[in-house]
Amino acid sequence: MKQNIIFFVMIVSTLFLYGQRIITAEEQKEETDTLILNRVKEWQDLKFGFFAHWGIYATEELVESWSICNEDWIDRKGVEYEPYKQWYWELNKKFNPKNFDANKWAELAWECGMRYFVFTSKHHDGFCMYDTKQTDYSVCGKDCPYSQNQNNDIVKQVVEAFRSKGFWTGLYFSKADWHNKDYWSPMWATPDRNVNYNIDKHPEKWQRFCDFTYKQIEEITHNYGDIDILWLDGGWIRPQWSINSDEVRSWLGAYQRVQDIDMPKIAKIARKGNEDMIIVDRSVGGKYENYRTPEQSVPDSPLNYPWETCMTMGDSWSYVKNDNYKSTNTLIHTLVDVVCKGGNLLLNVGPDKEGNIPEPAIERMKEMGAWLRVNSKAIYSTHPIAPYKSNNICFTESNNDKVFAIILLSNSTNLQNTYTFELSKDLAIGKKKVLGSKAEAKLSKEGEKYILNFSNKDVEQNREKNALVVEL
Ligand code: GLC
């Protein structure tokens, strides 16, 4: 017995000595705490969120962070890696957005119909958009000209402006930090996105990086009131048990280093006094990925777990000149497609170096808002109903049991006189209201099939719509 105890103490102390921790079975399973599950359910009712990637990369209209990473898919337009990196690190000296007005962003996003937001407090490049005590590499650091403003904490301004309008607040935070010398040590080359030293050989270095991260997590989750969503990126930083696919292994590069940052500890810090905060440890799975985040895509059918599609309005997450914006029609159809499958849409815009939301984005956001104001009943607080999507009709059911048919229209698919569909619920036949229109549709039934009819006049008058909603 005594020997066993000594043996156990030896193992535990060795684990701690080398910075490893004891991994529990619990963290590998999905969250079961109803407090958190209920919060996720409430979040699912919001449906539509505003995502903004903003940082020093905007000063040169670059793709966020990635150009300082030495992976061969990255294009530095012929500039050599090391000088490029040195140049990039200095972009903090250029960040000085003269037109930034968080209230303007919040008003626009509200008008667009968005009801929560996720903002990049720190991307992989390590530049902090908030007042951190852990590094000078931030908007409030002395080298950054924006620090001269009295109100220089950007996260604070964004959180306060959006919260006061009624948005749920979310902060994006990259677990990786390429500017931190305990993550990318200047002692060695930086061959890829990962930590650039052997953690087993330098556990004290890794521990310092973890401690730095814990303090930053504490700052962003406690300095701005209760944050609703902690959205963690940098999925290559994850425990051994979650390294379970070729895709994940491909992120880990040549050295396949396991970078366990102790998520139970991070969650504990973040949720202190705010127990039902939603945590999204992207792609890792288990207890701290409270919802999943398909990127730039919409699943083919409903998923049996909570999810959110994050998608760029242009092609890029951050501001780049002449970005290729999706049309309002496509964006509305994407929102409907996501909602009819039970997801949320987190739509991203990259503000420019002065803090402006680009004009094409403003235009689209206003147009989306105009559509949503008419058709909100079919979107917010709804859940999926089979067959979800049939040809170009999507179905949703509100939490008070009303069923909606959302007919997707475009230049190439005008409204038709007749639609035929099956539905997993009995509907009363007769006249049906078209939201925001004088038009009326007639619903009848033949065998198992419902038939929805529009008059010629209604077909003619509703040609230009992006999507028409019928309350069934
Ligand atoms: C992609 C990008 C990353 C961005 C993220 C947002 O993973 O590489 O830079 O922050 O998408 O979802």
- Answer positive or negative: Cα dihedral of 238, 310, 412, 388: positive
CB of 315 closer than 6 A to ligand 1?
Answer: no
Helix (H) or strand (E) holding 11: helix 2-17
Q: What is the pTM of this model?
A: 0.95
CB of 177 closer than 6 A to ligand 1?
Answer: no
Per the omega criterion (within 30 degrees of 0), is the bond before 191 cis? no
CB of 125 closer than 6 A to ligand 1?
Answer: no
pLDDT attached to residue 1: 53
pLDDT attached to residue 17: 47
Residue nearest to atom 4 of ligand 1 (CA): 317
Give distance in angstroms: CA of 349 to centre of ligand 1.
Answer: 12
Which tokens in the block code for residue 238? 């994850």
pLDDT attached to residue 439: 87
pLDDT attached to residue 13: 45
Residue nearest to atom 2 of ligand 1 (CA): 317
Which of 90, 155, 216, 132 is CA-nearest to residue 140?
Answer: 132
DSSP state of 172: E
Mutate-to-test residue for ligand 1 from 127, 317, 346, highest number of ligand atoms within 8 A of CB? 317
Rounded-to-5 percentages of helix, strand, coil across the chain: 35, 20, 45
pLDDT attached to residue 445: 97
Low-confidence stretches of the chain (pLDDT < 50) are 9-14, 16-18
Which of 203, 133, 201, 121 is CA-nearest to residue 157?
Answer: 121
Give distance in angstroms: CA of 103 to centre of ligand 1.
Answer: 25
Give distance in angstroms: CA of 434 to centre of ligand 1.
Answer: 39
Which of 179, 197, 201, 176 is CA-nearest to residue 188?
Answer: 197
Rounded to the nearest 10 degrees, how much is the dihedral formed by the CA atoms of 311, 316, 321, 322? -60
Euclidean distance between CA atoms 179 and 146, whole angstroms: 19
